[in-house]
Chains A and B, each alone.
Chain A
Amino acid sequence: MANFLEIDILGIDYHNKVEKNIIYLINRKQLPPSPLVASSPSSLPSLSSSIATTTYPYLVVSEKIEELLLPSSSSPIIDIFGIRSFRDFNDDLKRKVKKKGGIGLEVTLADLRKSDGSQVGKWFSQIRDLYKFCKSSNCQFILSSGANSIEEMVSGRSFDAILKICDIKPESYWQELGKWIESKSQYKVFINT
């Protein structure tokens, strides 16, 4: 279906089944591999049972504000923060997000389908502001379908049309997003065979 809609990479929930060209969205950060695992592949089978490693790229997604507010360390605990309500995304939260740096801020279209025209209009203006904020704070703006079924998936051209309405150039958006996903998921592909 992703091919049909001309979408290169999908982000979906992980259900204990690994497939190609898919980045899994999970709630918990996986444990990093020990240096021994990285340097000695032959020792992998014996260690695999004790170390939680993955054979798939993943991003940690959360909609919980408290997880975002955890004390900052060198690497943020979550990769993507899902914004469900712009009312909750206040100045205090923006300051925290700014401090984390490099985090993805995700907005989905699924909830918007049931909103009326005025709410959608307001949403477009909020997206414009959010995109400007992401630009100024080194965060990645992510527009997602939030689909739970095939019919809820959104085609690439529809995404482009929505981005244009929000004064965002689709070409630069996809380029930035591609680079960001690559940088975030690259170091998380571990071997566990």
Chain B
Amino acid sequence: MAILYSGQNDGIGIINLIKKRNSELFGHVATEKSSIRLIQSKGTNLVIIRCKLEGLDNILSTIALSYPPLTTLDMSGTLKRLRKRLSRRKELTKVNTVDSMFRTGDEVSFAAPD
């Protein structure tokens, strides 16, 4: 899923923030089972993460209840489709990082879901 954030955090910081909050809300076991991983963090305020489908609802609510605030922009079963969806919608947002993140030829193929 693609997540929009603000502030000083980088991709690793965002993953740690989500993991910490998820552990606080749903427990460490659930967080580990969700297998939250950073896929890509290239822009200034947009990251792509992945998680297991079983933990999706927990992660989505964790993102909505995180501070500093995070927003789920989009999600998909495969990264390829996520890229397409974000590119298709990029005119709807003024977040210029979407442009810079999804240039043709970006190395994303390693991020296919489990």
Chain A residues within CB distance 8 Å of chain B: 1, 3-5, 109, 112-114, 116-117, 120-121, 145, 147, 149-155, 157-162, 164-165
A149 touches B25 (CB 8 A): no
- Given contacts A4-B89, A151-B6, A159 and B70 within 8 Å (CB-CB): no
B64 touches A165 (CB 8 A): no
A-B contact pairs, 16 of them (CB 8 A): A1-B93, A4-B93, A114-B67, A117-B24, A117-B25, A120-B25, A145-B64, A151-B5, A151-B6, A151-B69, A152-B71, A154-B64, A161-B58, A162-B64, A164-B57, A165-B57
| Main SS class of interface, A | helix
B interface bracket (residues with beta carbon within 8 Å of A): 20 to 34
Seed contacts A152-B71, A161-B64; 20 additional CB < 8 Å A-B pairs: A1-B93, A3-B89, A4-B74, A4-B89, A4-B93, A5-B72, A112-B65, A117-B25, A121-B25, A150-B4, A150-B71, A151-B5, A151-B68, A151-B69, A153-B71, A154-B71, A155-B60, A158-B64, A161-B57, A164-B57
B16 on the A face (CB < 8 A)? no
B71 touches A155 (CB 8 A): yes
Chain B residues within CB distance 8 Å of chain A: 4-6, 24-25, 45, 56-58, 60-61, 63-75, 89, 92-93
Q: Once the chains are docked, how many angstroms separate the CA of A120 from the CA of B45? A: 26
| Main SS class of interface, B | mixed
Pick the contact of B92: A3, A109, A161 (CB < 8 A).
A3
Closest-CB distance, A11 to chain B (whole angstroms):
17
B75 touches A157 (CB 8 A): yes
Q: Once the chains are docked, how many angstroms separate the CA of A112 from the CA of B63? A: 12
Pick the contact of B61: A147, A150, A162 (CB < 8 A).
A162
A159 touches B57 (CB 8 A): no
- Given contacts A1-B93, A4-B89, A157 and B72 within 8 Å (CB-CB): yes
Q: Which residue of B lies closest to A163 (CB)?
A: B61
Residues of A within 8 A of B69 (CB): 113, 147, 149, 151-152
Closest-CB distance, B13 to chain A (whole angstroms):
14
Residues of A within 8 A of B73 (CB): 4-5, 155
Residues of B within 8 A of A158 (CB): 60-61, 63-64, 72
Closest-CB distance, A131 to chain B (whole angstroms):
16
Q: Once the chains are docked, how many angstroms separate the CA of A116 from the CA of B71? A: 19
Residues of A within 8 A of B56 (CB): 161
Q: Once the chains are docked, how many angstroms separate the CA of A4 from the CA of B66? A: 20
Q: Which residue of B lies closest to A162 (CB)?
A: B61
Residues of A within 8 A of B92 (CB): 1, 3-4
Residues of B within 8 A of A147 (CB): 69
Residues of A within 8 A of B66 (CB): 113
Q: Once the chains are docked, how many angstroms separate the CA of A151 from the CA of B17? A: 15
